[in-house]
Structure 1
Amino acid sequence: MNKSLLRRLLPVAAAATALSLTACAGGGTQSQNNATGPVEEPTEEVTISYATWQTGDEINALKKEFEKEHPNITVEFRNVPAENMGQTLTTQIAGNNPPDAAYVDASSVSAFASRGALVNLDNYIERSDVVDPDAYVEVFRTFVTFEDSMYGLPIDGESTALFYRTDLFEEAGIDGPPTTWEEFEEAAAALTKPSEKQYGLAMFAPEAAYYWYPFLWQAGGDVLEGDEVVFDSPEATEAAEYYVGLSEYAAPDYLNANSWDGRLGFFEGQVAMYIAGSWFAGVTMEEAPDIEGKWATANLPEGPAGCGTTIAADSLVVFEGSDKQDAAWLWIEFLSQPENQALLTYGSPNGTLLPTTTELLEGPELVEEKPLLEGFAEAMQCGVNNVEQNPKGPRIEEQLNIELGRAMYGEITAEEALANAKAAAEEILAE
């Protein structure tokens, strides 16, 4: 099972912060800015290191296939937990010991690229018969673009939707999933039975910003406009007050958890509604087969300004500190082949991630293989990149996580949370 997108932005923000305080390892010996023609195979045997949290038969089978096609290249996996990847890479970059390539949260690409840690892939892409920038869904491509150049190849992604326990809905006399903010809160209230340790939904203070964003966009608000902080606008305040107010119906035992650990509450029927990306469908099928037929998915309820959902992605990158950049490129190019990307997303038994190219996302095979992904694919039209393409964006989001989390615990109001986060964000932007 490819446990992709099970981490959120605290690790990424920590990595971005650390990068701003440490010297980045540079000086890769294979600058490709002026190279032409196909990337040549190495003439001698080389081993490239690949940092990843991908596991399972699919990635291992692709490794064997790649090494068969490229007998002079051996891929050595450096297994790093998803939540530790940002900090691990930052430490390795500072120590001049980065991997040759890595599978990373795409929201970290801009921060790493701004510090010179990643190889600009434009020249490699120009020489490739596999990778075409225009083939990617635009929102996925923006994740890996810094100063008009691509520093990563988006490999998988997701939109965010509503998972709900149909059995608990039936018990509460609720006919179907909520479609508006009002219906969502009404359902949450009806499903909350503290004496039975059942709650309407799960909320996670450490990831507060990420799951607030859809409500922000549905209210017509935004995070940044250029270098101006706008997440305290009237629209944003309305969204924050609504979102924080939902904590009244949230399972308290999971409030300080994250969306990965909190999955158990949904499996065990302690939580009736769960906002998550499409990864959650695969995890539920794999880890909770006993609730098959007792859950379903739906688009997020719409707000005053209409629909809106968070988009997230993972990316393949090559490090500037590597002296095997050509071989590392051949590996990530191989993984990006359409049939391989399909296998790593929806093509495996419990794979429920979205592919990042328009051809695969809109092709018939996606829904044929995984019918439950149809809604997630359709939701892409309402999707917004959750991280502004500003290298300081992850640090700003960390402040939103802290302050909105405090509001969820009742320490401050939602309006105070936005004011505090804005003051911190403006200091960060002024650095």
Structure 2
Amino acid sequence: MKRKMKWSMLLLLALVLVLSACSGGGNDPAPSGNASGGEQTDTNAGDKKENVTIEFMGHGNPTEKSIFEKLIASFEAKYPNVTVKYTSVPPAEYAQKMKTLIASGKAPDVFYVGSAEFYRFAEAGTLLNLQPYLDKTDLFNPDNVWTQALDRYRYDGTSIGAGELYGLPKDVGPWAFVYNKDLFEKAGVPVPSAAAGEWTWNDMLDAAKKLTVDENGDGKPEQYGVGAYSLESAVWGNGGEFIDYKTGTVLVDQPEFYEAMQFVADLNLVHGVSPNQEAEQAMNAYTRFINGQLAMFAMGPWDQPAFWELPFGWDLAAWPASPNTGKTATWLGSMGFGVSAKSKHPQEAFDLASFLSLDQNGQRENYQLGQAVPNLIDMANGEFMEMDKSPENRQVFMDIIQEYGRPDIPYGSKDTQWIDTFWQNASKVWNGEMTAKDWTAQIKPQMQELYDKNNK
């Protein structure tokens, strides 16, 4: 009898314990996904993740803002425990806005960073070292990401271009030469070559003269042959340099430089095939091209969404080569994603930056929306090249990245006053007040002084 009572008590105790376990107990956290803000369960990893909100700030035109809103929605679908508060500010206001936020200790978790900003932020300890996070993710295969992009975001404690990654590339931006196919066809002018070195300054000038139209002869053409020609392309193609970053020597007073600058100035001053400063202020070259009033211009991949809507055909060509060297060049820009070293949610911030930069689905959506050439090399060489949208000569983007694109001038500077001074005063050449030779000799000492003061 006692034995029966003993087993009955044991069975009753076991039943109570089972029922207690099934009920979850009074001290367990709220069920996953409840309205009270309890933890979410990651069904892939089997562990619970806290709901967090991170801030992301960038800049750009309305098209870019719309694209990133879509990309962020895709990120939030992949990481349902993370909410992204996205702010897009006008490009002209971005630098000051970031400076203010950083100084007040309110930097966004993720933000755009590029060129001189990256150098300053990395040196100041503003940026989180992303290498430990990259080492733990399957997203990152350094052999499948453009070295030309990654190296822009490396910092070894003293200089950029080497060391660990303190940023991830938002893009790698080839600045390409674009032309209006309809205007070329109407004028009976052969279109420029997409192969580097086959079309020279002389070929471009000859075409531009035939494509410049002044119907009433008032000296103010209704249609120009070329606009906003890239000085960097002309200088680099001619064998010149703005600066030797290894020695910190400004080189704008060298013949290879000022001869190229004079060529660009003379497109308007001598040949009248490019808008002068007054005409540019009345209607900038971008608007003229969009309106079908400019035959040759420049574009980056981010211009594709707007250009896809144009009522005329357009395509890419290689930048005209210098007849002195036979070489072609242009700048290869890049903007990066930085993560604040003070972020309270560094893993989630890294997850956003890596999704926007490295995730295959994120990169696919990005290029299909027309924002950029994929950072992933296999995707860029594969499906990106197979797109059925303009430009037909999409290979030009790839050639610039792999062959003749160069980092934009400020990338190696902590302070850009030296090059800002150049651009702010270059109008003396553009309006014919001084020759390029005389002006560069005059401005070089001032540029050198500013570079030495703020960068060495």
TM-score normalised over the length of structure 2: 0.75
Query: In the aligned structure 1, how far is the partner of 2:265 from the partner of 2:48?
Result: 55
Deviations 1:95-125 (A, max 9, x none): 2221110134456322332333222222222
| Structure 2: stretches of 5+ with no match in the other structure | 1-44, 157-161, 194-198
State the one-letter code of the partner of 2:447. Answer: A
CA contact (8 A) 2:59 2:89 kept: yes
CA contact (8 A) 1:403 1:418 kept: no
Aligned counterpart in structure 2 of residue 278 of structure 1, from 278, 301, 309? 301
After TM superposition, give the deviation of residue 180 of structure 1 in Å: 0.4
Q: 2:203 matched to which residue of 1?
A: 183
After TM superposition, give the deviation of residue 354 of structure 1 in Å: 1.2
Query: In the aligned structure 2, how far is the partner of 1:41 from the partner of 1:155?
Result: 30
Q: 1:424 matched to which residue of 2?
A: 446
Distance 1:383 1:189, change over 3 A: same
Query: In the aligned structure 1, how far is the partner of 2:440 from the partner of 2:84?
Result: 46
Q: 1:197 matched to which residue of 2?
A: 222
Query: In the aligned structure 2, how far is the partner of 1:299 from the partner of 1:64?
Result: 37
After TM superposition, give the deviation of residue 296 of structure 1 in Å: 2.5
Compare 174-183 and 39-48 and name the one that shifted more: 39-48
Q: 2:409 matched to which residue of 1?
A: 387
State the one-letter code of the partner of 1:363. Answer: G
State the one-letter code of the partner of 2:435. Answer: T
Q: 2:237 matched to which residue of 1?
A: 218
Q: 1:251 matched to which residue of 2?
A: 275
1:71 maps to 2:80? yes
After TM superposition, give the deviation of residue 246 of structure 1 in Å: 1.8
Deviations 1:215-251 (A, max 9, x none): 1111112222211222322211221111222233222
3-state secondary structure, aligned to 2:172: strand
Query: In the aligned structure 2, how far is the partner of 1:115 from the partner of 1:64?
Result: 32
1:332 maps to 2:353? yes
State the one-letter code of the partner of 2:109. Answer: D
Distance 1:96 1:420, change over 3 A: farther
Q: 1:362 matched to which residue of 2?
A: 381
CA contact (8 A) 2:175 2:298 kept: yes
Query: In the aligned structure 1, how far is the partner of 2:46 from the partner of 2:227?
Result: 51
Q: 1:264 matched to which residue of 2?
A: 287
- For these two proteins, the number of residue pairs brought into alignment is 378
1:125 maps to 2:145? no
Distance 1:198 1:331, change over 3 A: same
Q: How does 1:108-123 map to 2 (within 5 A)?
A: 108-123=117-132
Query: In the aligned structure 1, how far is the partner of 2:126 from the partner of 2:420?
Result: 22
Identical columns (%) = 26
Deviations 1:178-204 (A, max 9, x none): 710111122222322344422222228
3-state secondary structure, aligned to 2:138: coil
Larger RCO (CA within 8 A; separation ≥ 6): 1
Q: What CA RMSD, in Å, does the superposition of the two structures yield over aligned residues?
A: 2.8
CA contact (8 A) 1:110 1:143 kept: no
Query: In the aligned structure 1, how far is the partner of 2:382 from the partner of 2:185?
Result: 34
| Structure 1: stretches of 5+ with no match in the other structure | 1-38, 205-210
Q: 1:21 matched to which residue of 2?
A: none
Distance 1:172 1:387, change over 3 A: same
Q: 1:323 matched to which residue of 2?
A: 344
1:310 maps to 2:328? no
CA contact (8 A) 1:161 1:299 kept: yes
Q: 1:397 matched to which residue of 2?
A: 419
State the one-letter code of the partner of 1:49. Answer: E
3-state secondary structure, aligned to 2:287: helix
State the one-letter code of the partner of 2:376. Answer: T
CA contact (8 A) 2:415 2:451 kept: no
Query: In the aligned structure 2, how far is the partner of 1:232 from the partner of 1:40?
Result: 64
CA contact (8 A) 1:106 1:144 kept: no
Deviations 1:294-319 (A, max 9, x none): x3321111113312121112211112
3-state secondary structure, aligned to 2:192: coil
Aligned counterpart in structure 2 of residue 343 of structure 1, from 361, 365, 384? 365
Distance 1:403 1:233, change over 3 A: same
Distance 1:128 1:118, change over 3 A: same
CA contact (8 A) 2:59 2:65 kept: no
Deviations 1:10-37 (A, max 9, x none): xxxxxxxxxxxxxxxxxxxxxxxxxxxx
Query: In the aligned structure 2, how far is the partner of 1:95 from the partner of 1:43?
Result: 30
State the one-letter code of the partner of 2:306. Answer: V
Query: In the aligned structure 2, how far is the partner of 1:341 from the partner of 1:420?
Result: 46
After TM superposition, give the deviation of residue 46 of structure 1 in Å: 1.9
Distance 1:56 1:81, change over 3 A: closer
TM-score normalised over the length of structure 1: 0.79
CA contact (8 A) 1:310 1:386 kept: yes
Aligned counterpart in structure 1 of residue 317 of structure 2, from 274, 281, 298? 298
After TM superposition, give the deviation of residue 413 of structure 1 in Å: 1.9
CA contact (8 A) 1:154 1:315 kept: yes
Query: In the aligned structure 1, how far is the partner of 2:143 from the partner of 2:409?
Result: 21
Q: 1:31 matched to which residue of 2?
A: none
After TM superposition, give the deviation of residue 327 of structure 1 in Å: 1.7
